[in-house]
A = this chain, B = another copy of it.
């Protein structure tokens, strides 16, 4: 059986001299606590601290990175256990699903999922052989047995992973029940919510009107009036902040922002509330509401995050059968230089404002985002996101954006994951990738060693903590 190995020099440059520098830099950041200011873990895990169900439900079915690649090999999502919206047949035999995944595991060669999963297999479950069709059952049984032990409970893992703070993501209507429960439990972990109001900012969301009414009920505001709507949003932000949130997050189709004067904003609001709007008006409303979110951030101090440029649910058949987040979201060309101009002109130099922008269109790193972040004090570049949080993706980000933006106009690493067990793997990879990059710059005599050592700590820990006001 081929062995499963996590080489201590993994992701470091091959040149012996540069590798030695990378090793030295990594030593000082390897054991730093994890700051995870943006992600999608389920707060219920930490509130209830219940054991995870089984290997398949934990590691395969909810992971759209895994689903997409196995699907691309011709395996229908039903066969991977994904629930159908019409309650039609799906595979329910966990072990058979795991085997199907294992048979396709060689297809993950060269992908970051492979790196994260191998880390989880080796470090969390102590497995020593590689996953393939032959070892599938051994894997399943070993992982299943581990999951039943106290060591694998969410809170125990939180501690074992040395997490200092973990942000989850919630819609504007989320009652934050699990966060409340956690707080009341006296647990000393820091798991905080993030305010993500897309559902009540985007008129094209399927439940926009229903959610607006719910927002009104929740806040006691008349959300059919523009003023009541704005007040309701401010109220919800205050609740999130009170529960520990330090940031908001916005996943819009584009980065468009717009400044609408009072009466026009109100008129547009009435159009979208009554469902009588064009796609251009929906875009304008979202653009206006991003500006409003920035205004509120200046007031309440919540860091504002924007993740634009993804065509969600590219395949309508998959959406209709399985719902969203199944691996069929695809990036598209995204403009920032014109789109963000209204917002940056108004708030980009405001000392009270922090605005973190992520992109899945890498062409904007050197052309738009780094030049913008190198000028506007409020703007920070988000870490390489989604398809790009891989060794090469991180390397492209550092190579293309740092010379123009400088390291300090970034926010460190963001794991952005719902795969809790992989969080240390992702930070391990990011820290190694950053040390590799810094080591190369030391070897090229572009940086001195003491500067690189400082920057390594900045990128692994310090910048995320200060940028997200943690």
Q: Are A14 and B18 in contact (CB under 8 A)?
A: yes
Is A370 engaged at the interface, CB distance under 8 Å to the other chain?
Answer: yes
- Tell yes or no: A430 within 8 A of B by CB: no
Contact of A387 among B111, B315, B370 (CB under 8 A): B370
Q: How far is A149 from B124 in the complex, measured between Cα atoms in Å? A: 67
- B115/A377 in contact, CB under 8 A: no
Name A110's contact: one of B115, B368, B387, B441 (CB within 8 Å): B441
Q: Which of B115, B316, B368, B404 contacts A345 (CB 8 A)?
A: B316
- In the complex formed, the residue of B with least CB distance to A362 is B366
User: Is residue A327 contacting chain B, with contact meaning CB distance below 8 A?
Assistant: yes
B12 touches A448 (CB 8 A): no
CA distance A316 to B367 in the complex (A): 20
State the Cβ distance, A8 to closest chain B Cβ, in Å.
9
Contact B448 A2 (CB under 8 A): yes
Whether A71 sits at the interface, judged by CB under 8 Å, is yes
B14 touches A68 (CB 8 A): no
- Shortest CB-to-CB span from A408 to chain B, Å, is 5
Q: Given known contacts A109-B451, A110-B402, is B327 in contact with A444 (CB within 8 Å)?
A: no
A366 with B388: in contact, given A345-B317, A406-B110 (CB under 8 Å)? yes
A296 at the A/B interface (Cβ < 8 Å)?
no
- Return chain B residues, CB-CB under 8 Å to A253: none
User: How many residues of A are in contact with the other chain, CB < 8 A?
Assistant: 94
A228 to B211, CA, bound (A): 53
Closest to A332 in B: B337
Stretch at the interface among A25-33, A78-86, A186-194, A391-399: A391-399
Shortest C-beta distance, A320 to chain B (Å), equals 11
Given A111-B403, A333-B335 in contact, is the A314-B372 Cβ separation under 8 Å?
A: yes
Name A337's contact: one of B106, B331, B341 (CB within 8 Å): B331
**Contact among B72, B363, B399 with A406 in the assembled complex (CB-CB below 8 Å):** B72
Once bound together, how far apart are the Cα atoms of A403 and B392, in whole Å?
A: 8
Say which residue of B109, B115, B371 sits within 8 Å of A331 (CB atoms).
B371
| Given A72-B406, A316-B345, A404-B111: A367 and B455 interface contact (C-beta under 8 Å) | no
A-B contacts besides A73-B408, A363-B367, A387-B404, 15 pairs, CB < 8 Å = A2-B450, A12-B444, A109-B447, A110-B406, A110-B455, A115-B446, A314-B341, A315-B375, A329-B371, A330-B372, A387-B403, A391-B446, A392-B399, A392-B400, A396-B400
8 nearest A-B pairs in the assembled complex, by CB-CB distance: A7-B445, A10-B445, A14-B443, A390-B403, A74-B377, A330-B371, A68-B375, A332-B337
What are 25 A-B residue pairs whose CB atoms fall within 8 Å in the complex?
A: A5-B445, A5-B448, A12-B444, A14-B444, A16-B17, A71-B375, A71-B377, A72-B405, A72-B409, A73-B377, A107-B406, A107-B407, A112-B403, A314-B337, A314-B344, A314-B372, A315-B345, A328-B375, A330-B371, A332-B335, A332-B337, A332-B368, A333-B363, A362-B363, A391-B444
Binding site for B on A (CB under 8 A): 2, 5, 7, 9-18, 68-69, 71-74, 106-112, 115, 130, 311, 314-317, 327-333, 335, 337-338, 341, 344-345, 348-349, 351, 360-363, 366-368, 370-377, 379, 387-388, 390-393, 396, 399-400, 402-409, 440-441, 443-448, 450-451, 454-455
